[in-house]
Chains A and B, each alone.
Chain A
Amino acid sequence: METAFELAPAIVLLPLAAFVVALLFGNYMPKKGALAGIVATAGSLLLSLYVMAAVATGGQHQETYFTWAAGDAVSETGVPTIEFTFGTLLDPLSALMLVIVSLIAFLVHVFSLGYMNDEGETGLPRYYAELGLFTFSMLAFVIADNLLMAFMFFELVGLCSYLLIGFWFRTESAPSAAKKAFLVTRFGDYFFLLGVVAIGATFGTLAFQGDGSFVAAAGEAIDNGETLFGFGAETWVTITGLLVLGGVIGKSAQFPLHTWLPDAMEGPTTVSALIHAATMVAAGVYLVARMFGYYALSPTALGIIAFVGGFTALFAATMGVVKDDIKQVLAYSTISQYGYMMLGLGVGGYVAGVFHLMNHAFFKALLFLGAGAVIVLMHHEQDMWKMGGLKDKAPIVYYTFLAGALALAGIVPFSGFWSKDEILFDAIIVGLNEPIFLAAYAMGLLAVFFTGFYTFRMVFLTFHGEPRSDAARDPHPVSWNIKFPLLTLGVLALVAGIANLAPVYKLTGLEITYLEFWLDGQYGGYADLTYSAYGDTVPFGTDYIGSETITLLIAAGLGLGLAVGGAVFAMVLYNVPEPEPHTENLGSARTVLRSNYYQDEYQVWLAENLTLPLARAADRFDQTVIDGVVNGVSSVSLFGSGRMKRLQTGVVTNYAALLIVGFIVLLVVLGVLGGWFV
């Protein structure tokens, strides 16, 4: 068990090594560095499984590897010192996430052989190096044992996604999309950084776990009714929590900072798969789960998380309905699905949120890789209206994609159903106790219908009906390196739900709730980071309609019914040989939806009419006042310098005179001060 934990840093460092190798030697290697990445991520995956096994047999591990700064700064709560460290925290949550991330990264590397190498892309060493760095950053973020380390790797994740989204930097749109992703997420990260500083300054520690963690310190401060920076402890926890949440909203593409994500489709599809399933976007929600104990202290923060999540889920799902580009549909589905996770976490459903995070990682990676396979089949065509009829030409792609779609739509028994159902169930029981959450629940529920609709619209347009273009009639073949990841993920999309069949448990008493046990520390883990510990802290009560079973059946029935309804509706409209673009019938609503509710427009307007004038004013201030002062100082200095030089006349008698005069002045000043002459 100890060996597993000692090897844990290798999980992180292997992809870093792959980064270096691919960068330096990629050009000389067969497959241009892909093999290094594959070997490294496979190694990471095996070691992650080893760590998972170690946690499953009752282990947990926290170790500080490196203290890079320590200082005597008294925090608001009176902790005299603060240390900034790099360390690992291996508990059920991080072990699970390690496996997810390294698995997806491994499959994406394999898939890239088919998607990038076989398609003759250039710049492959750079591509694989960046993938390696991306995986490294995310893994390091996952094992971080403190908030500052998490922040640093969070930023590195952002940088890597910038690099990868802009991989085809010679096109016009990719660099622009990369910049947008970077800037929008950076806007959120700005608040995150403030939050890190605030938490550090308040509690004198940034550790996630243990008695010395900021979570424990915050709980203590609230219990003691302390006042922090002029606020009540709970208010302050809410404020700092929401600041950190700024980073989460940016990274996990929640409203209103979701605008970068659809544009990020400019990157290679493999990168989209990695970003959406396991790294960049997942990082935000993972962070909420990682410091869930902190958010649990503040009902306000939880409420905001729930509402942001519920609203985003619905909002993004409606936009997904009218998209024609297969990747765009998936992009909006990602935003929407992460909204669900936020909703789940926001109502205290820690297990539900993490469960959906896991399932989503599998089925969304599957869908993106499937979309990548479709794009290969279609000779790089992404418009669904030019596809059709691929079902028979590429059955493996079709059936795996279908599995992903069923999971995404939340159709029983695919994995997405179980986790989405659990989230909605958690939301409704909290909502029954505190009616305001019913609004969040309603948004989440409504989004189920849209999800079912756009998912199957996508499936039918892509795979069913008659081929609508030459490329669709004669698809490009795909090889094993595309099929293998699809099959792996397809199976996972189908069966991953078994990890936590909560409804089955509640109906029959069969304890198929492994994930709940897992996250509750029943196999191994820290007591303060368990589901039940969080459950004790979460301030919400629950209620049922009638009994728990009845509520459960109603919730599940509603969810499933709406999902199937959406799917059937899509089938009616689009599962025909020659589908029509029915979105025309939406009238002006279609314009609004296709313009994404003018989100980009208003953000651009803000940038142009608010930020830009402000920046101009600052620039003017800088140019005139600051530069004026600086230039003034420099001319005064140069003038003074000229005078100083004149002191040195070159005549030694002058020197002697100046020396004596200077010395006597000093002597007299000191003598008068000291009273020596009286």
Chain B
Amino acid sequence: MIDAFTLPEWAALAPPLLLALTALVLFAYDSINPRSTNRPVLAGVAVVGALASLVTAVWFTLAGTGADGPDAGYDLWFVVGDSVTGTGAIDLFGGQLVVDQMALFFMIVVAVVTALVAVASYDYMAGHAYQAEYYSLLLLAATGMSTMAAANSLVTIFIALELASLPSYALVAILKDNRGSVEAGLKYFLIGALSSAIFVYGISLVYGATGHLQLEAIAEMIATGEADAYSGLLGLGIVMLIGGFAFKTASVPFHFWAPEAYEGAPAPIAAFLSSASKAAGFVILFRVFTTAFPLETTTAVIGLDWTIAFIILAIVTMTVGNFAAATQQNVKRMLAYSSVGHAGYALIGLAALTVDGGELVLGAAMMHLLVYGFMNTGAFLFVGLAEYWGVGRTFDAYNGLAARAPVACAALAVFMFSLAGIPPFGGFWSKYFLFTGALEAASANSALLLVAAALVVNSALSLYYYSRLVKAVWINDADPSLDRDFGGTPTGLYAAILFAAVMTVVLLPAFGPVADLAIDAASAVLVS
């Protein structure tokens, strides 16, 4: 074995940097060749960029970048930092950014979803005027999300969050001839602005109470008791931060934008927002609350266990999302609300944290977000396929689609049953771990029993509306009076859907390593 080639530490940021670079390449292409609709080149560049980001993130993960311990990772050709001896998390720019296992984990999620969306958009956005803008905005948003995974200071978090949000607003509204799209974009932007305001206010309060923006520094101030005098201020600041994250993760009551934005946006963008953007929201949520506000010391200062906030949010979010989804007639809207419901599930990861444990449940939430990245993206892309064929938006319009597209409909069944958490699909395992995690934590805080019960009730309810869709495509007969004219078979959309379906299934046998990785990542942030 030759000695591994060691890259400088900043290279650990390669996944977001590659995304940013790709966005810039697209911009450059657009400025040289404006109004180009050369889709193969544009989509190709975007896909290559996303895949490059994915490959580097996976590579770093395998090489043990940012992992603790000398045995972390395999011997690979080149590594970042001195990971063979185990350097732990790589701090960059004075701790403003950090690359550790959790960051890489979410960079993978973001990159995978971006790649899928870019592939699917090739067909979906055919005949659209703003091709280069579309892909470069997509990549910019992805850069923001990828950076969110690594952000380690309230200021970088805010910048990254806005970097992710601003292109998203534009992307939702990119179908400029479509009233729904434009309206949804505006609503999204307004709610986003409001949430950002609350978020920034929260940042300022936390800064006021602790005098720091860098997360470890905040934790240190809290631990040393220097923030004791400002307990109320700090508490308000923390709740306001939660507000900002709740917007990004589409949690109740900051979820109002989601149904409209997902419905109005092009389907691949809906997939992108509901999977990658949500995951990115969660990663900073996890990081801020595990790093800056360690449970024990923070409770001592603010006089309140902040998991209570997440218990409330988790229960309310799950319930509102699933109940609102139950009777929707519009498929995309149903998926939008189900996506709100899933945010509630992932919130259990923080709700069930305890002073001396929680790796398992936090890891479970991370796993859930990974699996969700495939199954939910796939589901939205199926909607994109239906829109591509122009079959309409309601459940009734989907009746009998299986006769036309059995393969895609089989994939849809996989997504739906996985989303509902039915074995043997990936969604079952992550939900199962969340459930057991909540039950374990219930010994310390019996309110978690309520969370676990809500999880079960909502999962049961969700099976109702997910299976409705499966029934529509597989069992119900199409309305014979409809003379549907299907276009061809869009290769890109199909490829993305099938890949997502395969991953949803394959994640089951692969769940051992994935679970280990997620739990490792979770315990690393919990310890630090």
Contacts and interface: CB of A to CB of B under 8 A. Distances in A.
Interface stretch (B21-29, B128-136, B256-264): B256-264
A156 B260 CA distance: 55
Contacts of A642: 327
Q: Which of B190, B256, B302, B327 has the most CB of A within 10 A?
A: B256
A670 B260 contact: no
Given A663-B198, A670-B239, A676 B231 contact: yes
Contacts of A673: 304, 308
A640 B239 contact: no
A71 to B, nearest CB: 13
B254 A656 contact: no
A662 B253 contact: yes
Interface string A651-678: 0100110111111001101110111111
A666 to B, nearest CB: 7
Contact of B235 (A655, A659, A661, A676): A676
Contacts of A661: 253
B254 A659 contact: yes
A650 interface: yes
B187 interface: yes
B324 A637 contact: no
Interface in B416-433: none
Contacts of B313: 666
Interface in B298-344: 302-304, 308-309, 312-313, 320, 323-328
Interface residues of B, number: 39
A599 interface: no
Contact of B303 (A652, A660, A662, A675): A675
Contacts of A674: 231-232, 235, 302-304
A667 B238 CA distance: 10
Interface string B196-237: 001000000000000000000000000000000001110110
A648 B259 contact: yes
Interface string B56-93: 00000000000000000000000000000000000000
Contacts of A677: 232
A637 B327 CA distance: 9
A671 B232 CA distance: 8
Nearest to A660: B194
A644 interface: yes
B236 A671 contact: yes
Given A637-B323, A676-B231, A676-B235, A666 B303 contact: no
A363 to B, nearest CB: 49
B191 A652 contact: yes
B253 A658 contact: yes
Nearest to B326: A641
Q: B-side binding surface: helix, strand, loop or mixed? A: helix
A600 to B, nearest CB: 42
Q: A-side binding surface: helix, strand, loop or mixed? A: helix
Contacts of A641: 323-327
A647 interface: yes
A654 to B, nearest CB: 8
A655 B255 CA distance: 9
Contacts of A667: 236, 239-240
Interface string A354-382: 00000000000000000000000000000
A656 B461 contact: no
Given A659-B254, A671-B232, A671-B235, A652 B190 contact: yes
A664 to B, nearest CB: 10
A618 interface: no
Range, interface on chain A: 20 to 34
Contacts of B309: 666, 670
Contacts of A659: 191, 194-195, 253-254, 256
B191 A655 contact: yes
Contacts of A645: 324, 327-328
B256 A666 contact: no
Nearest to B195: A659
A638 B198 contact: no
Nearest to B301: A674
Contacts of B259: 648
A669 B242 CA distance: 14
Contacts of B233: 676
A650 B256 contact: no
Nearest to B257: A655
B253 A663 contact: yes
A670 B308 contact: yes
B514 interface: no
Contacts of A644: 320, 323-324
Contacts of B461: 637
Q: Which of A650, A661, A676 has the most CB of B within 10 A?
A: A676
B309 to A, nearest CB: 6
B166 interface: no
A648 B256 contact: yes
Interface in B237-277: 239-240, 242-243, 252-254, 256-257, 259-260
Given A666-B239, A670-B308, A655 B256 contact: yes
A348 B461 CA distance: 58
Contacts of B308: 670, 673
Contacts of A658: 253, 256
A655 B192 CA distance: 11
Contacts of A669: 312
B324 A648 contact: yes
Q: Which of A638, A666, A673 has the most CB of B within 10 A?
A: A666
Nearest to B258: A648
B186 interface: yes
Contacts of B260: 648, 650
Nearest to B235: A676
A662 B239 CA distance: 12
Q: Which of A642, A655, A658, A661 has the most CB of B within 10 A?
A: A655
A652 B187 contact: yes
B395 to A, nearest CB: 14
Nearest to A650: B260
B191 A656 contact: yes
Nearest to A646: B324
Nearest to A662: B253
B187 A655 contact: yes
Contacts of A634: 464
A663 B243 contact: yes
Given A652-B187, A658-B253, A670-B309, A638 B236 contact: no
B194 A656 contact: yes
A634 B242 CA distance: 33
B293 to A, nearest CB: 13
Contact of B326 (A637, A663, A671): A637
Nearest to A643: B323
Contacts of A663: 198, 243, 253-254
B232 A676 contact: yes
Given A644-B320, A675-B303, A662 B235 contact: no
Contacts of A676: 231-233, 235-236, 302-303
A166 B461 CA distance: 42
Contacts of B235: 670-671, 674, 676
A644 B190 CA distance: 22
A51 B198 CA distance: 77
A442 B242 CA distance: 84
Contacts of B302: 674, 676
B194 A666 contact: no
Nearest to B190: A652
Shortest beta-carbon contacts, A-B, top 4: A662-B253, A674-B304, A676-B232, A655-B256
26 contacts: A640-B323, A642-B327, A644-B320, A644-B323, A647-B324, A648-B259, A648-B324, A655-B191, A656-B191, A656-B194, A658-B256, A659-B191, A659-B256, A662-B253, A663-B198, A670-B239, A670-B304, A671-B235, A673-B304, A673-B308, A674-B231, A674-B232, A674-B303, A675-B303, A676-B233, A676-B303
Given A638-B327, A663-B253, A675-B231, 10 more contacts: A641-B324, A641-B326, A641-B327, A659-B256, A670-B235, A670-B308, A670-B309, A673-B308, A674-B232, A676-B232
